A and B are shown apart, each in its own frame.
Chain A
Amino acid sequence: MNRVLLFVLCCLAFSGFSGFSQDLEAMMKLSKLKRSYRVALEQGDLSQAYSQFIAGRSAEKALGATSQSTFDSRQLNDFADFKMAQATRWLMVDEAKTIALVELMRLQGLETLPAGKQARTSLAAAKEKDARTYQKAQEMFDRGSSNRSTSQE
């Protein structure tokens, strides 16, 4: 049924309504974002889910959505909070400190989420407390990030 509707909408779009065509394009982009957001969440890929979430929100705004967002942030927040709590716990264990700091560095990328803000605060405190371990973790994280970007290229 949805496909039929989409087909009809496509036909209308191609028949010269340029504004309508733009809206349709935005709607299609939004549904694609929603799908990849859901998949990323299921796979526990926080960074990917977050980027899809942010892109989805701006796509909704572009469409002029004034009501509540259709992107459910509950699962994203739950899992981000879960990872944040884990990293905080590991941070208290000497042997696992570097591992925890690397995870916190990754979490601070979730800028607008509560877990991202909390990660930034924890990292600032950790840097002040043990600059050497922080530096080691930073190097490890940067190495990982550069490897990731190289493999993406």
Chain B
Amino acid sequence: MSKFKGCVLGIFFLPFLYFGLSADVHAQAEPKTIEEWRERFKRGDPSLHRIHPSKWPSKEELGDLIPPKDDTAEKAFLERAAKAEKMSADLLKQIKAGQANRGLVDFRKRHEKSILDPEVSKLAKRGQLLAASKLYHSRRLALASSDAERALILESRFDHVVLKQLASQELAWVERNLKSETHRGAALISLLDLVRLEGMEETSSSAAKLWAKTKSERWIREKLPAVKAVNAGRQK
């Protein structure tokens, strides 16, 4: 409670304290005697202009002393000019940076278009996820004309819409069907495709973890010939 009272009183008295102090500062800044006025007139002290003209001594009292130059407006002008100069320099810098990045922007646009590549979609929908991922990854890398762009491609996540959706559904499907005695053969074929996906680190690493967990199971040996035959593309 006492803390609360202290806060309230503090907030209440703070303005008085501030204005009191500032009044004191101004009082100190204002010459008290005519000698002090004269002395600061002789020095050409421009801060005298902060004192209201009504408080200045009369011309008779000051004699032939010339009032100091009022540089307040000049200072304000110089401040404004410096600010404007800085702002224009910053703008110029931004424009130059924009021009330098224009190539990068174009590259990004080309890259964005690739996420809807119809050929990749077609291949993925035909059940050839691995082939689709290889095609998409190679197409992405072919967009790069410099090492910087290549690095950008490898860092960025421009996943192909259909490919990503099917791969994530397939991974979930595999995870569930590995547990089923009837469907684990099919799940195993798909799992080994998912492990080898290119440019889809998230999916392929999850699949690799799943494979690491599964490969020691006893039933793997029984299903392996079918998996090998499918992977070898051994068709009639």
Which residues of A line the B interface, CB within 8 A?
A: 41-46, 75, 78-79, 81-90, 92-96, 98-100, 102-103, 106, 140-141, 143-144, 147-148
Check: B169 CB closer than 8 A to any chain A CB: yes
Task: Kindly state the separation between the CA atoms of A140 and B181 in the bound complex, as whole angstroms.
Answer: 9
Number of interface residues of B (CB under 8 A): 35
Distance in angstroms from A118 CB to nearest chain B CB is 12
Are B229 and A102 closer than 8 Å at their CB atoms?
Answer: no
Cα(A137)–Cα(B201), bound, Å: 35
> Could you tell me if B189 and A90 are in contact, using CB atoms closer than 8 angstroms?
yes
Complex Cα gap A41–B182 (Å): 21
19 contacts between A and B (CB under 8 A): A41-B169, A43-B176, A44-B172, A45-B172, A78-B162, A78-B166, A79-B169, A82-B169, A83-B173, A84-B127, A86-B127, A86-B190, A87-B127, A87-B186, A93-B230, A95-B226, A100-B186, A103-B183, A147-B181
List, in ascending order, chain A residues with CB within 8 A of B234's CB: 93-95
B117 within 8 A of partner (CB): no
* B interface SS class: helix
Q: Is the interface of A mostly helix, strand, loop or mixed?
A: helix
Report which B residues bind A (CB closer than 8 A). 124-129, 162, 165-166, 168-174, 176, 180-183, 185-186, 189-190, 223, 225-230, 234-236
Closest 7 CB pairs of A and B: A144-B182, A44-B173, A85-B127, A86-B127, A95-B229, A99-B185, A44-B172
Structural contact, B186 and A144, CB atoms closer than 8 A? no
Given A86-B190, A106-B183, verify A92-B127 contact (CB < 8 Å): no
Tell me which of B169, B174, B229 has the highest count of chain A C-beta atoms within 10 A of its own C-beta: B169
How far, in angstroms, from A147 to B186 measured CA to CA in the complex?
A: 18
Q: Which of B129, B176, B180, B235 contacts A93 (CB 8 A)?
A: B235
Contact B124 A82, beta carbon cutoff 8 Å:
yes
**Cβ contact within 8 Å between A81 and B125:** yes
* A140 and B234 alpha carbons, distance in the complex (Å): 24
Other-chain contact of A92, B169, B180, B226, B236 (Cβ < 8 Å): B236
